Structure formats: structure tokens, C-alpha cells
Chains A and B, each alone.
Chain A
Amino acid sequence: AQSVTQLDSQVPVFEEAPVELRCNYSSSVSVYLFWYVQYPNQGLQLLLKYLSGSTLVKGINGFEAEFNKSQTSFHLRKPSVHISDTAEYFCAVSESNQAGTALIFGKGTTLSVSS
């Protein structure tokens, strides 16, 4: 079965600084990878996804992530964060060989952006 590890539970940064949120996964088969964002008192919304092809994936709000198969990682990056990026971020994985496989989520990383 697959699993996801988000290496940092909290990441505090100053506005306009770069940020990287780390995610590692384990699976015995090929996977699809996702990053979701959750703003306070809301549901989750998709930031970006990796299905196949280019290992660098661009998402909404200036975020991007790079799939590294050898390191089984899918780290999320943004070159310059804003106060409005303060939220909880979840990495998730599903197995590509099963159509109905549920997403398994990491425990989340809280990004706090201050001025």
C-alpha cells in the first residue's frame, strides 16, 4: 500500500521569501501525485497534479512541484510567497494501476507567511 510523508508539520516564512514544502511517498507501483491547499474553515482544493510526462508541474497561484522518481519525492515550491498563501498544504498519492483507488494524504504542512 502507498503512503505519504510530509517532512515538516509547520513552515514559517516571511512575505516575498521562497518556500519549499517537502513530500515523500512510498509505493510498489506507479503513482499519481497531488498537492492540495486548505484555507481556514474550507474544504480542500487542488493546487497541482503529476500524472505523467514532464516532471516539473506548474499549478495555481504560482506554485510548482517536481516529481523525482529516484528519490520518491514531490516537493512543492514557490519563489515568492504572499500573506494570502497562509494555509495548510496536503500532499496526496494514488496508484495509477487502479481506477478506483482512493487518494492517501500526508498529515499536512501549515505554511505561515508573515510580514
Chain B
Amino acid sequence: NAGVTQTPKFRVLKTGQSMTLLCAQDMNHEYMYWYRQDPGMGLRLIHYSVGEGTTAKGEVPDGYNVSRLKKQNFLLGLESAAPSQTSVYFCATHQGSNSPLHFGNGTRLTVT
């Protein structure tokens, strides 16, 4: 999916380490989202942004922070990683609630 790019694709962290996941979109969309996907849990919303400079909490925000300094980028930070944050993280973007989400290919994070 050339429209939404996530980096890195894979990462292994030790408990307590920090990292930042980057999502970049070239679709000029206002709305961007970070979801995590866990077996049997579907996708759960972590944080989202309705425009440059704005962020809001989703269903499961604890342990994560986000920033949207530029319209095309949405960063997800883990300040002190925990094993419970082992998951696949997806970034998504769209024009509004009546338009489909465009997803990145995901980042697989393992915290040991």
C-alpha cells in the first residue's frame, strides 16, 4: 500500500526500552489512527488525530504517546516498553467517517 508507510516492519525490545513507530501518508488525509491487533481481540484504537497538531485518546491509550507535528506523519511512542505491548501495530488514515480507512502493512513488535 504505497499510500501509508509504516517503519519499522519488525522490532524486538527489552522491557523498559523506548521506541517510536513512524507512520507516513501521502494521501493528504486529515485523519490518522494507530491501532493494535492482538489475537482474538480485533483492532483496538490507541490514539488518533483529526488534523495537524491534534491528538486524542482511543480505547487503549495507556503506555503510549503520539505526536502529529506534520500533516503527513503520525508518530507512536512507547516510553517504557512492557511485554503487554507485544502486538502488531497498524496505522490508518482516511478523509472522514464516511470514507474507508487506508492501512499500512503493520509493525510487529515483540517486548521481552
Contact = CB atoms under 8 A, between A and B. Distances in A.
Interface of A: 6, 9, 32, 34, 36, 42-46, 49, 51, 90, 94-96, 98-108
Contacts of B30: 100
Contacts, number: 64
A102 B98 contact: no
B101 interface: yes
Given A43-B1, A43-B90, A100-B31, A105 B98 contact: no
A42 B42 contact: no
A32 B90 contact: no
> Which 7 interchain pairs have the tightest Cβ spacing?
A43-B103, A100-B50, A107-B42, A94-B97, A46-B100, A105-B43, A105-B42
Interface of B: 1, 30-31, 33, 35, 40-45, 48, 50, 58-59, 90, 92, 96-98, 100-101, 103-106
